[in-house]
């Protein structure tokens, strides 16, 4: 039975379903991606506020420089990365959180990569 948290997450259409799928890939596709999609507007708002507060104007950069800047901010700025991770982790069920802490480093890497892609595609 799905929990209330799981029931409010959007369905991600177009995800390839393989017979053989790793635990990490399953978690990414069935937990992380729906949460990131659900929280998209909040994640964008938080990141845009960080840009404003840091006086970073992405509109003045070329597309390549913009993508590099977004990636650098997410990877190097621990404070903003932890805030964004907290927004995502805060939507885990207890079971998902227990699975997350077993593979925290790998899942944080996956979250960071998906987050960077989403921000680069929307900003």
Please indicate, yes or no, if residue 1 is contained in any of the structural domains: no
Please indicate, yes or no, if residue 13 is contained in any of the structural domains: no
Local confidence band at 12 (pLDDT 50, 70, 90 cut-offs):
confident
For residue 11, report the phi and psi dihedrals to the nearest 5 degrees. Answer: -85, 135
Please indicate, yes or no, if residue 95 is contained in any of the structural domains: yes
What pLDDT is stored for residue 1 in this prediction?
Answer: 65
pLDDT digits (tens, 9 = 90+) for 107-117: 999 999 999 99
Please indicate, yes or no, if residue 73 is contained in any of the structural domains: yes
Domain boundaries, position 87: 24-122
DSSP secondary structure string for all residues of 57-113: -GGGS-HHHHHHHHHHHHHH-HHHHHHHHHHHHTT--HHHHHHHHHTHHHHHHHHHH
- Residue 16, pLDDT > 70, answer no
């Amino acid at each position: 039975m799905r929990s209330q948290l799981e029931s409010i997450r959007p369905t991600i259409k177009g995800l390839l379903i393989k017979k053989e799928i790793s635990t990490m890939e399953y978690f990414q596709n069935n937990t992380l991606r729906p949460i990131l999609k659900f929280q998209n507007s909040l994640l964008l708002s938080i990141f845009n506020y960080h840009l404003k507060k840091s006086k970073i104007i992405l509109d003045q950069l070329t597309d390549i420089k913009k993508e590099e800047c977004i990636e650098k901010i997410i990877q190097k700025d621990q404070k903003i990365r932890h805030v964004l991770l907290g927004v995502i982790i805060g939507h885990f069920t207890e079971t998902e959180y227990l699975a997350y802490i077993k593979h925290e480093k790998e899942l944080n890497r996956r979250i960071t990569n998906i987050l960077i892609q989403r921000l680069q595609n929307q900003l």
